[in-house]
Structure 1
Amino acid sequence: MRVDPKAAPVARRVHKRGLIKKAHFVSPNKCPGVIQCESRLEASGAIVMGLDPRVVLLRPQPVTFDLDTGRIYASREAMDKECAAPARRRNIYTPDFEAHFTNKKAFVEFKHSALIKMRPKTLELPSVLRRFGYRLIIVDETYLPEVFVQNMRLLSPLLNASLADADRERIACASRQPVQIRMLLEDELTHHSILSLIAQGRLVCDLMGSRLSGGTRVVWSEEVPRHLMHLPFDEMEILDA
């Protein structure tokens, strides 16, 4: 469902089930406006993809597939207008996202392993779409542990933050060797500057093992920021640092 006029049109609606509100609203990087997701896992995946340097653009709920024919539609409503068969008789699928990389793109589905176990045919979707010439990547919760997600949610608003050249140089000089964040703060550098450089890939640290804190050790790097790249996009082109 499109909830922000700045957001791209979407191909499916997000509904509520009973008294439980399913919808999660997020504003990830590389995706205009506020988007609506069906689960926290999907919302977390959007935030993590927005910080992944391999991803250059995100589209939520981009198209609807007719899995029997391979045809794609801008929405289920568009499919209803063109198809005579009732919706309940059609084999349709709308992926969570379309992720654009430097020279490639792929559809991405975030699905909890418990739901995959309940619906094992979910694992057949990549091969079905491959027959029609499309790439689908299924991501479960093992790629998005809670600590990592909390850290990425903290960093997400800072990806495009501006830093003074003087602050950047001071942090670079102070972190040529691994150093705790609290030591940089004692040198009168700011949380904002330090976290911004982690989000932008210049300061590297372990985002999986523990929450970001004063005791987190960071080090300056000009290499590819692999601490931001934990999603299974290994075959996609990696951007140069």
Structure 2
Amino acid sequence: MAKPKHSRPEPKNTLQGTRILGRIGGRPAIFFKSKKAGGILTLESAGERTIAQLAELDPRVRSIAAQPFSLDVSTGRLYTSREALAEARGERNSLEARHRDYTPDLLLELVNGLKPAVEVKDPRYPGDALYKAKLAKAHLLLKMRGQSLLTIYFRYQEASPLVHNAELLSRIQHADSPTRDLDELAYRIDRALGSDETELAKLLPALGIGIREAGLLVLHGLLSADLRSNTLDANARVRAAGGSLDHLQLLLLDEVQA
């Protein structure tokens, strides 16, 4: 008698919040190591990863979570675990998941205490009428709970300066701690630049460092650059940041409200 076949358990590293990732549309999950998440974020697209990287860099963001909850837009009930969501679906006459269940891509906790849920959307694919109606209901229900739902329209382009810089700086964040004397480097930058700006390649000899270490100066607020429009390379124009991290505020968080 043949032994019954058992389905394989889902690998633990593809479980995230209330969703099972790694098999959505046949696409593999995308992983990002995040200090603000306290571990590995499991994401669904390269665009989501870039937004998570920008949140990691943004000094206004205290913590990050992926697929943090699911909201039933028909009842207003919110589920924070996959098991609770599955149990609720089992009690319905039909699953209706596409009509009823909304799961944000990210949840950010900001230093001002606000906790916006984030939907990352490619502007080329805004979604059909059903999706838009569900998103509108989710927005209203979350607002009633005192929470914002922020839709970030972002088209992932691997060669774009923003994507390149997000990847570069997030890698540097997880590298070894700098052994350079940052106070001494800040002094040299002030002497070399004052209030002027210059190309990075022209500044580095005065600092005695190479291009590979330049990202540290941006991360620590010694140098600032237009990270949205210019790739952080030898040709990037930089200026003294004086300890400010405003240049790392790359997420559009102006719509977040209490």
Highest Rg: 1 or 2? Answer: 2
Residue from 248, 255, 258 that aligns with 1:228: 248
Aligned residues between the structures: 234
Residue 123 (structure 1) shift = 4.8
Q: Is the 8 A contact 1:25 1:37 kept in 2?
A: yes
Matched, 1:14 2:28: no
Q: Is the 8 A contact 1:61 1:97 kept in 2?
A: yes
Please give the secondary structure, in 2, of the residue aligned with 1:105.
Answer: coil
Residue 37 (structure 1) shift = 1.0
Q: Is the 8 A contact 2:228 2:250 kept in 1?
A: no
Q: Against the structure 1 CA distance between its residues 186 and 139, is the aligned structure 2 distance closer, same or farther, given a 3 Å change threshold?
A: same
Taking only aligned residues, the RMSD between alpha carbons, in angstroms, comes to 3.0
Provide the identity percentage.
26
Q: Against the structure 1 CA distance between its residues 218 and 92, is the aligned structure 2 distance closer, same or farther, given a 3 Å change threshold?
A: same
Partner of 1:92: 101
Write the letter of the residue equivalent to 1:126.
H
Q: Is the 8 A contact 1:29 1:51 kept in 2?
A: no
Q: Which moved more, 1:132-141 or 1:214-223?
A: 214-223
Matched, 1:157 2:171: yes
In 2, Cα distance between equivalents of 1:228 and 1:48: 8
Residue 236 (structure 1) shift = 5.6
Matched, 1:69 2:75: yes
Residue from 209, 224, 243 that aligns with 1:189: 209
Q: What TM-score, normalized to structure 1?
A: 0.82
Write the letter of the residue equivalent to 1:149.
V
Write the letter of the residue equivalent to 1:157.
R
Matches within 5 A, 1:17-166: 20-82=26-88, 84-85=91-92, 88-89=95-96, 91-102=100-111, 103-118=113-128, 119-121=131-133, 123-124=135-136, 125-141=138-154, 146-159=160-173, 162-164=177-179, 166=181
Q: Against the structure 1 CA distance between its residues 196 and 79, is the aligned structure 2 distance closer, same or farther, given a 3 Å change threshold?
A: same
Residue 25 (structure 1) shift = 1.6
In 2, Cα distance between equivalents of 1:178 and 1:72: 50
Q: What TM-score, normalized to structure 2?
A: 0.77
Partner of 1:217: 237
